[in-house]
Structure 1
């Protein structure tokens, strides 16, 4: 993998600290390869993130980290929080989940879904988390109505995560956005995953597709015109035609589900409801600013709406890269800090009417 290209930090283009209320964090998801290898316990891996000085605030992927998930035991929760506190760290957001299916043919009832999630809410509270996270729209209005009194009681936030192509104008997402905005409850907020804002595909991802022998004209289209609507149609067409080798299907689906092509301006109406950000990255090859440009754009946009919350480094590229998670996260947070500062400085320098 090529070394990241970075702009030098100078006193003229960046401040010494992030805006008040902005907290850099790291997702435990970044260490998925180490969790799978199980050479250390998940607890020790997570505490090591703080101990090694990578980040003191950890966004927890609870399903990976807790053996007793989805009904975590008090003992396991206390062991994790104690180890993390001893290392100078704490949990930020608790990554929750709902298994909507009780069996391959039977969907859980609303009551069963509530009972599945309730222990996770209590676990988030016991860990001292800011709140718990679900994908946008998965909970649905009825479950959110039942959860809100508990969220108020425990002073937790339910974060609904938006990523990929889930813009407010997307027919699949519009109703969930409208519901959240309509409630306008501070205990219900958005997590913005900047995978929505990719100006180009990751270099190392393109290398994998090239090695798989996909058509050259198609590869050129992916490389040069990722945000072109015709490129999405071409991605779907090749899949439907059976032109994707079976061993490549999982990786290929990232272009359908995980990789977005939007501009931050498309999120302007919902940015005031964003209280956390996933600084999603895949590799650190910053050709043409493909890693740093979305960071700067998000920094500028968030500063313009008075954002406060966590901004967590989240590495998705371990699906095809073997790099060290700690080194990758540390380098990404360095790049993210600088890029966010530059973006926030742009917002401060912009004329009042232009914000």
Structure 2
């Protein structure tokens, strides 16, 4: 079995963030290791994590990395970029926002990327005027959606992409939107951190029940979330979604890339492989072509080896996406 034509598995250098923080090796060296170790041939990078001088890293450093990557048999697929909305507490004007973003786009082109990634809606009023620059640089702007950002929750943002009707602006789906259940290791961490046992049970057994979301908000607004796990708890409201592929039917033709988000590798009840299989079936039906990138979010609470985690996840993804028939 093999992946459909035009589907490219890739790996995110974001997965190596703990190693970047330790700073025993440079961020470019760490990103390059994903290719050197044979884990992936295409990688995503985060521009702000890679080089000093952000948002305008030195061109020579960018081009050197591109050449080293090519020599190892790899390339950059997508570059994560950002728009800093404020300058010393003052909100930037649209002209200043563009001036902040443009050198990032030029750096992405210099590194040989296919495109850049922003959260959906962040470009805002800049979006229309960016299209000629994207054409000049031969880049695609991917607007990323994740967690609870379904078409029903953000209709105007999705409609904007459709209205532009250009291959230079596409949608990037993070499958954290499609979680049938929460990660086992995450639930264990919440329970050890003092989240009430009754709520942990509901999160474990009734994640997709809307009443569970209400219970999550009740504990938060009542001040019942212990400080040590407060940031971790907020994933329930931001990073973890409960939608199903059917909820995305109207926007699947807009997809140009997918983040195969995973948290841990516990798949005893197919909580990891089912979203992969569901997405694979939907993409196959719409003639999708693009990258499907392994992105590990569990580094927030796990200290597993990121290279091993990424390699094992890509192996699972390759198996499931090559045969996306329903699980037994």
Q: Which residue of 2 aligns with 1:290?
A: 271
Contact 1:166 1:196 in 2 (8 A): yes
* Residue 69 of structure 2 is aligned to residue 66 of structure 1: no
Contact 1:136 1:160 in 2 (8 A): yes
Q: What's the offset of the Cα at 1:250?
A: 0.8
Contact 2:43 2:77 in 1 (8 A): yes
How many Å separate the matches in 2 of 1:287 and 1:184?
A: 41
- Match among 87, 92, 95 for residue 102 of structure 1: 87
Q: What's the offset of the Cα at 1:124?
A: 1.0
Per-residue CA distance 1:215-242 (angstroms, 9 max, x = gap) = 1111111000001111111111101101
Per-residue CA distance 1:287-343 (angstroms, 9 max, x = gap) = 210100000000000000000000000000000000000000000000011111221
| Matches for 1:257-272 after TM superposition, within 5 Å | 257-272=238-253
Contact 1:44 1:83 in 2 (8 A): no
Q: Which residue of 2 aligns with 1:133?
A: 117
> The residue matched to 2:323 in structure 1 has which SS?
helix
How many Å separate the matches in 2 of 1:70 and 1:79?
A: 18
* Residue 119 of structure 2 is aligned to residue 167 of structure 1: no
> The residue matched to 1:293 in structure 2 has which SS?
helix
How many Å separate the matches in 2 of 1:265 and 1:55?
A: 30
- Match among 298, 310, 317 for residue 298 of structure 2: 317
User: How large is the Cα RMSD of the aligned pairs?
Assistant: 0.9
Q: What's the offset of the Cα at 1:206?
A: 0.4
- Match among 198, 201, 209 for residue 179 of structure 2: 198
Moved over 2 A (4+): none
How many Å separate the matches in 1 of 2:63 and 2:139?
A: 18
How many Å separate the matches in 1 of 2:87 and 2:33?
A: 35
Aligned length: 326
Q: Which residue of 2 aligns with 1:184?
A: 165
> The residue matched to 1:94 in structure 2 has which SS?
strand
* Residue 199 of structure 2 is aligned to residue 218 of structure 1: yes
Per-residue CA distance 1:82-132 (angstroms, 9 max, x = gap) = 22122211100011001111123x111000000000001111111111111
Relative to the length of structure 2, the TM-score reads 0.98
Name structure 1 gaps, 5 residues minimum: 1-14, 347-355
- Match among 118, 122, 132 for residue 149 of structure 1: 132
Q: Which residue of 2 aligns with 1:38?
A: 23
Relative to the length of structure 1, the TM-score reads 0.90
Per-residue CA distance 1:159-205 (angstroms, 9 max, x = gap) = 000000111011xx111101111111100001100000000000000
- Match among 103, 108, 111 for residue 119 of structure 1: 103
Name structure 2 gaps, 5 residues minimum: none
> The residue matched to 1:158 in structure 2 has which SS?
strand
Q: Which residue of 2 aligns with 1:349?
A: none
Q: What's the offset of the Cα at 1:152?
A: 1.3
- Match among 45, 48, 62 for residue 77 of structure 1: 62
* Residue 286 of structure 2 is aligned to residue 305 of structure 1: yes
* Residue 70 of structure 2 is aligned to residue 89 of structure 1: no
Q: What's the offset of the Cα at 1:65?
A: 1.3
How many Å separate the matches in 2 of 1:166 and 1:213?
A: 28
Q: Which residue of 2 aligns with 1:229?
A: 210
How many Å separate the matches in 2 of 1:287 and 1:225?
A: 17
Contact 1:68 1:76 in 2 (8 A): no
